[in-house]
Amino acid sequence: EEVRALGGQALPVVVDIRFEEQVEAAIKQTVDIFGGIDVLINNASAINLSGTNSVNMKTYDLMHSVNTRGTFLCSKLAIPFLTRSENPHVLNIAPPLNMEARWFQNNVAYTMAKFGMSMCVLGMSEEFANLGIAFNALWPKTTIATAAVANIVGGEHVLRRSRSAKIMGDAAHSILIRESTSFSGNFCIDEDVLREEGCHDFSKYRVDPAITEEELFPDFFI
């Protein structure tokens, strides 16, 4: 409704990306309504920061099914349609591949699942370079005020020291309008992307204006 109110078009579809037939149906509806696909953003993610002895296998399977497998599946099924676009992009909301023990030691299961999304960028950017499809990753420098941060990471205390999701939206837009054949295989950080565009004042993105930039929480994997 918000998109339509601004003059855009929207097709809301309920999809569980663990199921191939649901993703196929969503893509078919999208192509039928809009005539094709120019951009795929793999944002769906499941998070549980439990250690190895605490995480149960149902949760492990959920994270890997949604994060790594879901990203792979959605990308795979969208690629045939992306090849028809003039400037096709796939953007994974995934962290830089910092293969250091400190990112794994407290939550191996989650890090494996999240880095799986990053590995899709690393591999697919080369695999489909000849087709001109860009594969990039975007990750926030600070925590973002989302339900996951509120419910799992740290609650109100962390939310106040976070930025709004608008910074990720603005950074994603900056990436998606770039030429796909020349900007691919990058692990981008939201603030860095916007600095490249000439933005140096990030105060508008702070959830709590009273919090200074120095008081913002750095995001996981940064």
- The three-class DSSP label of residue 205 is helix
Q: How many CB atoms lie within 10 A of CB 123?
A: 13
DSSP-assigned letter for residue 143: -
- The three-class DSSP label of residue 218 is strand
C-alpha pair distances (Å), 63 with each of 1, 56, 57, 69, 214: 30, 11, 10, 9, 32
Phi/psi region, residue 50 (left: phi>0; alpha: psi -120 to 50; beta: rest), is beta
Element (H, E) at 79: helix 70-82
In the block, tokens 């420098």 appear at: 141
Structure token digits, residue 29:
């509806």
60 is catalytic: no
The dihedrals phi and psi of 127, each to the nearest 5 degrees, come to: -60, -35
Catalytic residue, candidates 110, 139, 205, 217: 110
d(CA 40, CA 55): 31
d(CA 144, CA 207): 9
Q: Which sequence positions are flagged as catalytic? A: 110
